[in-house]
Amino acid sequence: MRLFAIGDLHLSFAVEKKMDLFPGWKNYEEKLEKNWRMDIKKQDWVVLAGDTSWGMNFAECLQDFQFIHALPGKKLIMKGNHDYWWASIKKNKAFWSDYGLNSLDLLRNNAFLFGEIGICGTKGWICGPMATEGDQKIIRRESLRLETSIKAGLELGANELIVFLHYPPLGKEHGNDILNVLHKYKSIITACYYGHLHGDAIDTAFNGVYDDILFRLISADNLNFAPLLITAI
């Protein structure tokens, strides 16, 4: 059984919000499906790190989630800044249940145990010098969500934690509440994977070890639409 991850699928089967106009995104749905089916089996897990569908509501994103459900594996879905369809945990799960999309689950204020590895995460938010006072308020809230998820992983008995975020936790100025939470638990967190960055911004992404934690960008175009293998048990 293996754990994969990818972010920012930006699916839009039912709405006119195609990504093909951006460099590298031509036929991205076909690339994603081909790569996914080549590497991922029914017993595997895949974390989708936000910005999954451009749909504004459940009706507009149904085809996107049916596409994801038809692919092999269990999918853990997080919230990104463009997931406007997102309602609440209860409503999201009810929507998927109504349509039999039972391979989908939510990573939100909770954690999952993959063998002895705790899978944790939250959306995150803007960090660095451009963050406004309003942004700082959201960062503080998201840091609390992250710590809630981490504690949930510890309560499950995990002896190692892997964290997933939508927003990059490292900016031009290192030091924010989310990064402080990662530092607090760095003795058990081995890696942090994040998305959100596209195009030229990919070149600014931090990929490497900082404060004893491995960081890596997993936005779909950065991975050439092939989910990244994180670990296996």
Range of the domain at 130: 2-232
pLDDT in tens, 160-192: 999 999 999 986 555 688 999 999 999 999 999
Q: Which residues contact 121 (CB under 8 A, 6 or more apart)?
A: 47, 49, 78, 107, 146, 149, 163, 164, 165
Domain count, the chain: 1
Q: What is the DSSP string of 126-178?
A: --STT--HHHHHHHHHHHHHHHHHHHHHHHTT-SEEEEEESS-S--SS---HH
* Least confident stretch, 4-13, 70-79, 131-140, 204-213: 131-140
Q: How confident is the model at residue 131 (pLDDT cuts 50, 70, 90)?
A: confident
Residue-wise pLDDT for 21-39, tens only, equals 788 899 999 999 999 999 9
pTM: 0.96
What CATH number is associated with residue 218?
3.60.21.10
